[in-house]
Amino acid sequence: MIQQYEITLPHYPRGYHLITHHIEKAIETMPKVGFVHVFIKHTSAGLTINENADPDVRIDFESIFNKIVPENLPFLEHTIEGPDDMPAHIKSSLVGASVQIPITNARLNLGTWQGVYLCEFRNRPSRRRIVITVYA
């Protein structure tokens, strides 16, 4: 059995935002065993699985990514959409556009401290669309 859902996330500002609950809510019938694949349909945001308990992790993610890929680099060519655009594309490629999570006993089988993050890299982002595919 394969189920697929496409949802639009609420507007999130730049930063790292837990969206696990949106994924779980979108799945109408969670199979007993399988996996879910979550894909973001954008090139300036990404998805990752990481620490879901301490909000400082989100601040640190933002700090380190801005240090690795800062805005206003003088050699960037793609700048027509603003100084955050090309760095957002690079950060998105570093993080990735999808995550895959096992399903066990009709629940996402994440670790105790794991959650799915929307990584929003734009200063003025649009609402993001994700595709959730469930395989059982």
CATH number of the domain enclosing 85: 2.60.120.460
Q: How far apart are CA 27 and CA 31, in angstroms?
A: 10
Residue-level pLDDT at 53: 93
Residue-level pLDDT at 10: 97
Sequential DSSP letters for 121-134: --SSPPPPEEEEEE
Let me know: does 35 contact 100? Beta carbons within 8 Å: yes
- Phi and psi dihedrals of 61, rounded to 5? -55, -50
Q: How many separate domains does the chain show? A: 1
Domain extent for 131 = 2-135
* SS3 (DSSP) at 88: helix
Residue-level pLDDT at 43: 97
Tell me the mean pLDDT per 10 residues along the chain, length 136.
97 97 97 98 98 95 97 93 96 98 98 97 96 98
Residues near 94 by Cβ (< 8 Å), separated by ≥ 6?
Answer: 46, 65, 68, 69
- Phi and psi dihedrals of 100, rounded to 5? -130, 135
Residue-level pLDDT at 106: 97
